[in-house]
């Protein structure tokens, strides 16, 4: 008798296309673990799972269920961890590689949605949209001139990272006749040009950009990389936008740069922690437009990542190389383990 393939996810919201796709496979059992239920019941589900589909939101998933060496030690049947998003902040990819476990994500599935919000934040900050909204609802006696902002058309936009999302931002920026610069140490200059931006070093980007927008991952090379020195190196009166990850920028240093008037405004979708405390210094500034890590949270993006995630899991369990494999070096080991656990070639 063929071995049943077991996929586990937690009971957080997911577009129903995910469950429907896996449910169409006669040899796959999808099991949903209750995060508010007994820990031992959830641990038992994970102990038998072949694939774990997990949220990448580090502050929404209890630390107990982040994929670490400790969790992997209790999951001897696990072949793969699938992130329900472009990032995989709740997954220790190196630990997975050591354990012979593949890590897959859905990078690109929400790129258009994130890019649209990045442009939206630029407009909201530059045109003082949120300040105008608050005043119109609560006060009188102000003038339209007191709400005067700047066009983003014709401005110089600097992208830190021009991967899937950065490329979409560059495409949208061209509709505003923006000059687009990009710094991405992972890409050659020719590829950056092909993605719609002028390749420059980081120092030049900070010095020349009217708007700096972050589209880089959070890792050891980027953590805390936008600090007081970086903000001081930005063009006076520039805007800072991030839809990347909280932790890349120093929130206290950004608040200081805004309060001092060196930077004119910021649009922030990501925080450390999420959500930030109500008394966070950045939330007290009218020059900040704040959103709650919703750049990729649209109906279209959530459907994309759910559909992509399910399809990738189905293929992976058949032995097909996943198209969005984070740690490709582990794949031969995964195939060997799959043959032992599930049988077949």
- Alpha carbon distances (Å) from 63 to 54, 57, 58, 229: 12, 11, 8, 32
What three-state secondary structure class fits 208?
helix
245 an active-site residue?
Answer: yes
pLDDT single digits (tens) 34-70: 999 999 999 999 999 999 999 998 898 999 999 999 9
Question: In terms of C-beta density within 10 A (0-12 exposed, 13-18 middle, 19 or more buried), how is residue 78 classed?
Answer: buried
pLDDT single digits (tens) 165-209: 999 999 999 999 999 999 999 999 999 999 999 999 999 999 999
Given the residues 58, 164, 293, 302, select the one marked as catalytic.
293
- Alpha carbon distances (Å) from 137 to 140, 145, 289, 290: 9, 17, 17, 18
Give 37-44 contacts, CB < 8 A, sequence gap 24+.
39/64, 42/10, 43/74
User: What pLDDT, on the 0 to 100 scale, is given for residue 218?
Assistant: 87
293 an active-site residue?
Answer: yes
Q: Which helix (H) or strand (E) holds 340?
A: helix 331-342
pLDDT single digits (tens) 251-277: 999 999 999 999 999 999 999 999 999
- Taken in order of first residue, the domains within the chain and their CATH numbers are 5-107+299-342 (3.40.50.720), 111-290 (3.40.50.720)
Given the residues 198, 274, 300, 311, select the one marked as catalytic.
274
119 in Cβ contact with 169 (< 8 Å)? yes
Percent of the chain's residues with pLDDT above 90: 95
pTM over 0.85: yes
Average pLDDT in the chain: 96
pLDDT single digits (tens) 6-25: 999 999 999 999 999 999 99
∠ CA 111-249-83, nearest 5°, is 40
Task: Write down the residue that tokens 């293929």 correspond to.
Answer: 315
326 in Cβ contact with 94 (< 8 Å)? no
- In this structure, of 30-34, 86-90, 257-261, 314-318, the range with the lowest mean pLDDT score is 86-90
d(CA 210, CA 227): 18
Name every residue whose Cβ is closer than 8 Å to that of residue 141 and which is 6 or more positions away in sequence: none
Has residue 345 got a pLDDT over 70?
A: no
What three-state secondary structure class fits 83?
strand
Name every residue whose Cβ is closer than 8 Å to that of residue 140 and which is 6 or more positions away in sequence: none
Question: Which is more confidently placed, 29 or 219?
Answer: 29
User: What pLDDT, on the 0 to 100 scale, is given for residue 42?
Assistant: 95
Q: Which two tokens stand for residue 179?
A: 């000059």
Name every residue whose Cβ is closer than 8 Å to that of residue 336 and which is 6 or more positions away in sequence: none
Please report the beta strands in 36-126, taking only residues with DSSP state E, as ranges in sequence order: 51-54, 80-83, 102-104
300 an active-site residue?
Answer: no
Q: How far is CA 190 from the centre of its chain?
A: 25
């Amino acid at each position: 008798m063929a071995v049943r393939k077991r996929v586990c996810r937690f009971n957080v919201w997911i577009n129903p296309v995910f469950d429907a796709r896996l449910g169409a496979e006669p040899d796959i059992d999808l099991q949903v673990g209750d995060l508010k239920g007994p820990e031992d019941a959830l641990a038992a589900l994970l102990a038998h799972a072949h694939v774990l589909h997990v949220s990448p939101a580090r502050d929404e998933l209890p630390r107990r269920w982040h994929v670490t060496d400790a969790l992997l030690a209790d999951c001897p049947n696990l072949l793969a961890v699938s992130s329900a998003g472009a990032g995989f902040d709740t997954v220790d990819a190196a630990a997975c590689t050591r354990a012979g476990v593949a890590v897959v994500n859905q990078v690109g599935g929400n790129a258009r949605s994130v890019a649209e919000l990045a442009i939206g934040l630029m407009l909201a900050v530059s045109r003082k949209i949120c300040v105008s909204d608050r005043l119109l609802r609560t006060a009188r006696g102000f003038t339209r001139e007191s709400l005067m902002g700047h066009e983003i058309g014709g401005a110089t936009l600097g992208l830190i990272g021009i991967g899937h999302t950065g490329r979409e931002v560059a495409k949208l920026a061209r509709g505003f006749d923006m000059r687009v610069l990009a710094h991405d140490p992972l890409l050659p200059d020719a590829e950056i040009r092909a993605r719609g931006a002028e390749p420059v070093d980081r120092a030049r980007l900070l010095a020349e950009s009217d708007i700096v927008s972050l589209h880089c991952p959070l890792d050891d090379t980027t953590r805390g990389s936008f600090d007081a020195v970086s903000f001081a190196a930005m063009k006076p009166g520039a805007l800072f936008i991030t839809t990347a990850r909280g932790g890349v920028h120093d929130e206290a240093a950004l608040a200081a740069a805004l309060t001092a008037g060196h930077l004119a405004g910021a649009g922030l979708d990501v925080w450390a922690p999420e959500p930030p405390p109500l008394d966070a210094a950045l939330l007290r500034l009218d020059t900040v437009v704040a959103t709650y890590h919703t750049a990729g949270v649209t109906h279209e993006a959530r459907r994309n990542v759910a559909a992509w995630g399910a399809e990738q899991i189905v293929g992976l369990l058949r032995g097909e190389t996943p198209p969005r494999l984070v740690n490709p070096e582990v794949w031969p080991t995964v195939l060997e383990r799959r043959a032992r656990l599930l049988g077949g070639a």
